[in-house]
């Protein structure tokens, strides 16, 4: 059972002691008692992350290594996770929902959070010990795009228009995608930093987003909804055999599924590969969606939506690049922004959005 309380949770990996770990994992691994806990590695960015090694007596099935996510130590980052509810939302996801969704995710071991959202902790499977691999953002990604759209189609089809998101139902805690004041501020910063070197579509989309933020958000929330990952870029994926799994569920939301598809395609698939395979990947997604419980959607109409939702990928990638190395390495941030900008140029996204918004 999760600890949803104001009772203190470990705030750093170093505070996770053997007795605390034994109690936390006692339900999943009865009669397992940790005799020691060692922090193998730890760092804090948007959220805190660590790998632990534990020695056990009494139950040999308890994991020897554990991946941990907890609140960041940086005050600015901590304020962000509190204001957005990101940490609390992900801990809630790993408390139950992670075990039922039809795609590969890290196996949840235990999660807890307090109501304020400034303290949370997730104990999950150590994927590196499970033999999983993590794709590079540098070049061609092999069969990753095909496997990724299969994963997204399975997720979206399973929860398509589900009544479980209705008020009072068990998934009512999953809300629309996050909104906040930081988005326009970061895009404004990106415009100052990169605007002169980028194509006209970059500056046009930045201006549209900054001056019509709420209207754009309402447009992006319109349409049939499902469970989405919300931050489905390449860095939040892993590969287990022939499956692409999804990490980092802090942005999970109740929203149109095409949002995840466009988000991945536009900033994680190399530009030449996207230009060549975009339509084929969309058809594959639509076929998988219908097989997984979703509707059989028309390709042409969905492609038009893809042209709209390319903006989500662009906003995320451009905001990340504007933040320098606070969210990702600047190299990764710039690569994502350049790919997403190429996509919004190819798809003529600024013109699409201006026509839909009437501005």
91 and 15 housed in the same domain: yes
- Domain of residue 188, CATH code: 3.90.1200
Q: Is there a single domain that holds both residue 203 and residue 349?
A: yes
**Whether residue 151 sits in one domain with residue 120:** no
Please give the tally of structural domains in the chain: 2
0.85 cut: is pTM over it? Answer: yes
- Average pLDDT over all residues of the chain: 91
Verify that 26 and 111 share a domain, yes or no: yes
Higher pLDDT, 158 or 334: 158
124, 157, 175: which is the final residue of a domain? 124
- With bands split at pLDDT 50, 70 and 90, how would you rate the model's confidence at 27? confident
| Same structural domain, 181 and 266 | yes
Position 300 pLDDT exceeds 70: yes
Instruction: Report if residue 134 sits inside a domain.
Output: no
In a domain, 302, yes or no: yes
Among 124, 159, 175, give the residue marking a domain's end: 124
In a domain, 136, yes or no: no
Shared domain for 119 and 150, answered yes or no, is: no
Counting residues of the chain whose pLDDT is more than 90, the rounded percentage is 76
Task: Indicate the pLDDT class of residue 60, thresholds 50, 70 and 90.
Answer: confident
Claim to verify: residue 182 and residue 285 sit in the same structural domain: yes
Instruction: Give domain status of residue 258, yes or no.
Output: yes
Residues 202 and 327 in one domain: yes
238 and 110 in a single domain? The answer is no
> Do the domain assignments include residue 130?
no
* pLDDT at residue number 45: 67
User: Residue 310 is part of which domain span?
Assistant: 144-357
Residue-wise pLDDT tens digits, 117-145: 788 999 999 999 999 999 876 656 789 99
22, part of any domain: yes
- Among 324, 339, 323, 347, smallest CA distance to 268 is for 339
pLDDT at 1 over 50: no
């Amino acid at each position: 059972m999760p600890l949803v309380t104001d009772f203190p949770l470990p705030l750093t990996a170093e505070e996770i002691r053997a007795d605390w770990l034994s109690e936390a994992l006692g339900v999943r691994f009865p009669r397992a008692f940790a005799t020691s806990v060692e922090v193998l590695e730890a760092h804090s960015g948007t959220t805190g992350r660590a790998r632990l090694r534990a020695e056990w007596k009494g139950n040999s099935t308890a994991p020897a290594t554990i991946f941990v996510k907890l609140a960041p130590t940086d005050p600015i980052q901590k304020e962000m996770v509190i204001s957005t509810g990101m940490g609390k939302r992900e801990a809630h996801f790993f408390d139950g929902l992670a075990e039922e969704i039809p795609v590969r995710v890290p196996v949840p071991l235990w999660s807890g959070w307090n109501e304020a959202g400034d303290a949370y902790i997730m104990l999950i499977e150590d994927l590196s010990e499970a033999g999983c691999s993590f794709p590079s953002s540098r070049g061609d990604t092999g069969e990753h795009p095909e496997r990724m759209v299969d994963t997204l189609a399975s997720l979206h089809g399973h929860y398509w228009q589900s009544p479980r998101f209705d008020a009072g139902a068990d998934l009512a805690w999953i809300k629309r995608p996050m909104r906040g004041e930081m988005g326009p501020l970061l895009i404004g910063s990106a415009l100052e930093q990169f605007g002169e070197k980028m194509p006209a579509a970059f500056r046009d989309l930045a201006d549209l987003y900054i001056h019509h933020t709420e209207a754009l958000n309402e447009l992006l929330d319109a349409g049939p909804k499902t469970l989405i990952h919300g931050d489905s870029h390449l860095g939040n994926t892993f590969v287990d055999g022939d499956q692409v799994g999804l990490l980092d569920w802090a942005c999970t939301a109740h929203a149109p599924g095409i949002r995840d598809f466009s988000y991945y395609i536009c900033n994680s698939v190399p530009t030449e590969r996207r230009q060549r395979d975009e339509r084929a990947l969309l058809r594959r997604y639509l076929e998988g969606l219908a097989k997984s419980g979703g509707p059989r959607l028309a390709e042409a109409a969905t492609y038009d939506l893809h042209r709209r939702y390319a903006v989500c990928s662009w906003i995320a990638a451009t905001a990340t690049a504007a933040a320098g190395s606070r969210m990702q390495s600047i190299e990764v941030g710039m690569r994502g922004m350049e790919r997403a900008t190429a996509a919004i140029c190819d798809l003529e996204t600024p013109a699409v959005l201006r026509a839909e918004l009437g501005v």
